[in-house]
Amino acid sequence: EVQLVESGGGLVQAGGSLRLSCKVSGFTLDDYDIGWFRQTPEKEREGVSCINVYHGTTYYADSVKGRFTISKDNARNTLYLQMNDLKPQDTGVYYCATDRLPYNPRWVRVEEYDYWGQGTQVTVSS
């Protein structure tokens, strides 16, 4: 059974840092594309950062480039998102998700991801 469990969210002041974790089971991090997404009441769910398993490439939303880093620990079956220099507009519920595909040319599209964790809240105060 595919499962994803996020942790690491919290309340932080602007300029601070958080590291999110996503423990996966039922597959390995080399099997499928996987990524981090976020949602706020004002916006639709958006992609923050993803890893393409076929090409080994990564995607970052323009709003987080240079501040966020996605990484994975295969031995721990855990995906991470290091978030630095956080801004109030980074506030939201962060989810990790997988598309359960070893090759997907549309891997950066939110709608391609169909297995989601429960989410973890990140709140950045100004």
DSSP per residue, 25-87: ESS-TTTS-EEEEEEETTEEEEEEEEEETTTTEEEE-TTTTTTEEEEEEGGGTEEEEEE-S--
- For the chain, residues with pLDDT lower than 70 are none
User: What is residue 75's three-state secondary structure?
Assistant: helix
* Identity of the residue numbered 83: M
Cα–Cα distance, 46 to 110 (Å, whole number): 7
How would you classify the pairing of strands 120-125 and 10-13? parallel
Q: Which pLDDT score, from 0 to 100, does residue 70 have?
A: 98
